Amino acid sequence: HQFALTAHSPVGLSPKDYGIEPHYADITFANNDVAFTDSTGIDHEIFSEGLRKSLFNYMHGICFEYDLQEWFDFEIPQTSIAHDYIINCIESEPFPQVKSSSRIVWLGNMPTVYIYQGESRGLQVEYMQMTFHDKRSSHEISMVSDKGQWLIDNLEDLKIDEGSIMTYGQLKSSYEESLDDFTLFWFGDSMTAIREIGLLVL
């Protein structure tokens, strides 16, 4: 998000080193957005639109593969973080083990679906937004259309009233017949959200 000065951040602790002068006010809880005068000449507002768009896509679980420059219409410095930093962090932390024989059951309703076009690496990509409704609320989850369609096709079969119960191993094999690594998909944000609203591992 756009820069905000907090009292206990490195900038807040050594403001002169960063060319700013904080204007502290009496508070009742925490100094998390301190007003300040910036002598560096940086216009922080120019980053607002790019940050707004990138955050919107992040919240929908898409466009993670975008180059940072794609969000801004002016030249920005190269990031100092390696492009594979996140995946390396993920792979360095082993996923919880799920037995191949574990039964997978869907207790929720089938979603309503909205298809929309997005852009990835300069190419048009079709995404699926699924809205799951229950008696108290609704939940929107987005993913690339082919993965979303695979999920919808299988959710119907995972209902407990369908008779035969599919196992984790069977689900994994089905996914990897036509798509990519199932483990990354299963423990990704979208599937984690779906497990929270009614996809059970027994």
Q: What is the pLDDT of residues 44-53, one digit of tens each?
A: 888 888 988 8
How far is Cα 3 from Cα 77, in angstroms, rounded to an integer?
16
Task: Place 185 in a pLDDT band, splitting at 50, 70 and 90.
Answer: very high
Mean pLDDT, rounded, for 28-41 = 76
pLDDT of residue 1: 63
Q: Which residue has the higher pLDDT, 7 or 102?
A: 102
Check whether 91 has a pLDDT greater than 80.
no
Task: Place 34 in a pLDDT band, splitting at 50, 70 and 90.
Answer: confident
Check whether 11 has a pLDDT greater than 80.
yes
Check whether 61 has a pLDDT greater than 60.
yes
- Which range in 64-78, 110-124, 143-157 is most confidently predicted, on average pLDDT? 143-157
Mean pLDDT, rounded, for 166-181 = 93
Check whether 84 has a pLDDT greater than 60.
yes
pLDDT of residue 28: 53
Which is nearest to 98 in space by CA: 38, 4, 185? 185
Tokens of 136: 């108290």
How far is Cα 134 from Cα 145, in angstroms, rounded to an integer?
23
Which is nearest to 194 in space by CA: 114, 116, 104, 126? 104
